[in-house]
Amino acid sequence: MKEKSGGVFEELLETQQIFDDREYLRSSYVPENLPHREEQIDKLARIWVAPLRGETPSNVFIYGKTGTGKTATVKYLMEELEGVASDLSKEIEVSYLNCEVVDTKYRVLATLANNVREELIDGVDVEDLSDFPDEVPMTGWPTDEVYENLVELLDYREQFIIVILDEIDRLVSKGTSDVLYLLSRLNSDLTNAKVGVVGISNDLEFASDLDPRIKSSLGEEEVVFPPYNAPQLEDILEERSEKGFSDGILEDGVIRLCAAHAARKHGDARKALDMLRNAGEIAEEEKSKKVTTSHVTKASKKIERDRMEEAVESLPNQSKLVLMSVLVLQERKSSRVSTGDIYEVYSSLCQQQGWEVLSRRRVSGLISELDMMGVVNARVVSNGRHGRTKEVELKVDPLQVRSAVQDEIYVQDLDSLPVRKQKRLG
């Protein structure tokens, strides 16, 4: 190995360092300073100071779209809270659940119980362990027994527990909102401990189809995180890039461009950061001395491409076949692809694969779905006597479609596919 020094690694070391520490440029990183969230932080801090004073904290609903800093703000405040609590030797525990993963009544209660149990084991002498309720298995117990177990664990000592339910709207849409009812009245079953519930939702409307009792009890306080505008995003990016990038590596306008892109996409700070980091990575690959706006443009395209590729790959097989039909038709006779054309090609492709042929109605629906995803562009046009149809146009790179689709589908002999006689138009 030694004689090879001077090779790859040294070369890499000699080139200009783009990143100082790219961790700061990831959206998962929780910064200690959250620009333009002073109002929300202030409001939440007022709520969560309660347990430090020995009072029960109010339950809170937090609303805001993705990338508006909800989770980061809450995590930051919780760290602070736990820090201050241990200074004052108060028992305050935080239990964080992501409801996208923990998405049933049983799992919420079980995960919560096990979290509480773990904290408890850390907090008290190990010899007491035999008194503890058992660990809840991830399946098997009746739900009410899990609940009793949880209550027992919570009440084991005087303490405050803050339960954070991230992506809480997932619970409601899956119809498991009765667990929220249980949580909302948890305090009435407790004597030593007090629980505060924090619900974080991407969906601003989600509370509207919630049982009014749950709504009023869990939503005692509401905090809204509005989307960032472009200047605010710039501030955030500025702050992160100071730590994340080497000094002076960013060309003027790079941050502004990233912010502008993301501001157009609903003020999503996560997207803005991804774009900035990607731009840096592209600059690094190109061994560039600076990160320029053209790197940002490339990053933006790359992100879009990756998104599309993932979308196409994760499509159900039937949809892939429909997409393939659009591709075939477009290559064959260029543009002006109509639903009827697609259906014919689709059904023969289907037979070729030995698959069931879906109905016209369904295929029409699948085309609409592809349209909504942005994989194709479909618009309804009327050709007078020749009827109304959708004109479909591929919106992604044909090569991408090919590579994504070919894993599952082997298309043989495209020339044998039917082509409808070209009708006269205009």
Residues that bind DNA (CB under 7 A): 104, 106, 143, 175, 316, 318, 338-341, 356-362, 364-368, 380, 382-390, 423-424
- Minimal distance, residue 178 CB to DNA, in Å: 9
Residue 31 burial by CB count (10 A; 0-12/13-18/19+): exposed, middle or buried? Answer: middle
Nearer to DNA, 187 or 330 (CB): 330
First CA to last CA distance, the chain: 71
Pair of tokens at residue 284: 């690094």
Nearer to DNA, 143 or 187 (CB): 143
List the one residue out of 100, 103, 51 whose CA is nearest residue 78: 51
Nearer to DNA, 258 or 358 (CB): 358
Nearer to DNA, 253 or 387 (CB): 387
Residue 55 carries which side chain, given as an amino acid letter?
E
Cα 102 from Cα 167, distance rounded (Å): 10
Nearer to DNA, 62 or 358 (CB): 358
Residues 6+ apart with CB under 8 A from 396: 308, 312, 375
Nearer to DNA, 297 or 348 (CB): 348
Cα 136 from Cα 116, distance rounded (Å): 11
- Minimal distance, residue 202 CB to DNA, in Å: 17
- Minimal distance, residue 59 CB to DNA, in Å: 25
- Minimal distance, residue 146 CB to DNA, in Å: 12
- Minimal distance, residue 340 CB to DNA, in Å: 2
- Minimal distance, residue 17 CB to DNA, in Å: 47
Cα 235 from Cα 268, distance rounded (Å): 13
Cα 338 from Cα 410, distance rounded (Å): 24
Nearer to DNA, 187 or 383 (CB): 383
Which single residue is written with the structure tokens 């196409």? 312
Q: Taking CA 228 as the corner, what is the angle to CA 79 and CA 306, rounded to the nearest 5 degrees? A: 90
Pair of tokens at residue 203: 């969906």
List the one residue out of 294, 333, 302 whose CA is nearest residue 400: 302
- Minimal distance, residue 211 CB to DNA, in Å: 15
